Amino acid sequence: MSPDAGGASLDYLYHRNPEPGAIIEVAPGVSWLTMPLPSSLNHINLWLLEDGDGVAIVDTGIFSQVTRDHWQRVFAGPLAGRRVTRLFVTHAHPDHIGLAGWLTELLGTELWISETEWNMGRRFSLDPGKILTESGLALFKRGGLSASAEALMQARTLARVPSSPVPELYHRLEDDMILHIGARDWRVLIGRGHAPEHCCLWCPELDILIAGDQVLPKITPNVSLWPGRDDDNPLGSFLATMDKLERALPDSVLVLPSHNLPFHRLYNRLQQLRDHHAARMADVLTACDRPKTAAEMVPLLFQRKLDQRQTTFAMGEALAHLQYGAMTERLERGERPDGAWVFRRI
């Protein structure tokens, strides 16, 4: 995720987020709460949907004692005596799915999620160290950083992202599926590029989109090539999703994003995100007049100091742009003997 200049031309309904533990009703039967995050993102937005005699939860917050304490306060306070009917998870990133195991067990409720996100979240929760170390090293190798001790250390730093076991049983969310939640219908819209099978939820009656991380104001969702998926084109998928959302949704929709504030003017934001990636692609193509690896591209794309975790995201993001260039036949992808990809303008 990186901050961008966009967001100024959007209309915000609120000036600030609710404090963790507090709840704000943003529409009939739709409430907003936040949980803290230990990163520059600072918080995640979660949603509560009235669901018959109970309430459904959308996303969980990160697996930490602090977040669990906040949840306990919510259950003892605003949700006291309320049954939780189900837990929806938009995608398998740790701030969204981190407490799925804990919440479903505590509340005796069931998880609703897409198959790919369940699969990733489940594997990750069972063995985060192994997956992150292996995928981190694969990413560094493709990106042109040697599998040095430093790279290994970076991967292990990432492996400390905590997690709780993602339940074995789940209800599968699929594209275009209609969910009856309380008195209203919500349509599942699958988005790609930020995560492989990210679920957005749209209620036409309320004109509300629960956007997850697919569309965010002020920050550009991270779009990374996932290690081992050498022929994926995540940026192509992300841009196709921007088009899909514009076709599926009215511009009047109120967007409830997972970070920052709810906003109107979806089409403006979709265009800003397209423009952002188009500008970045133009820089990538120019730079590739001389052959480049992703590692050589990172300082050109991110002109600020990056910590280890940010460097890993930046490598994934640089590879996503280079790969998009190769997939649209503007760049040629070659491979060095050490497995690193080198991209050259055609």
Residues that bind Zn ion (CB under 5 A): 93, 213
- Contact between 97 and 126 under an 8 Å Cβ cutoff? The reply is no
**What is the rounded CA–CA span in Å between residue 316 and residue 298?**
10
Q: Which is nearer to Zn ion, 241 or 293 (CB)?
A: 241
Q: Which is nearer to Zn ion, 179 or 223 (CB)?
A: 223
Q: Which is nearer to Zn ion, 213 or 232 (CB)?
A: 213
Least distance CB 244 / Zn ion (angstroms): 18
Give the contacts of 136 (CB within 8 A, at least 6 positions apart): 151, 154, 155, 158, 159, 227, 312
Least distance CB 247 / Zn ion (angstroms): 23
One-letter-per-residue 3-state SS of 161-196: CCCCCCCCCCEEECCCCEEEECCEEEEEEEECCCCC
Least distance CB 208 / Zn ion (angstroms): 20
Least distance CB 91 / Zn ion (angstroms): 6
**What is the rounded CA–CA span in Å between residue 89 and residue 57?**
8
Let me know if 264 is exposed, middle or buried by CB neighbors in 10 A (0-12, 13-18, 19+): middle
Q: Which is nearer to Zn ion, 93 or 277 (CB)?
A: 93
**What is the rounded CA–CA span in Å between residue 152 and residue 184?**
49
Q: Which is nearer to Zn ion, 93 or 265 (CB)?
A: 93
Least distance CB 119 / Zn ion (angstroms): 16
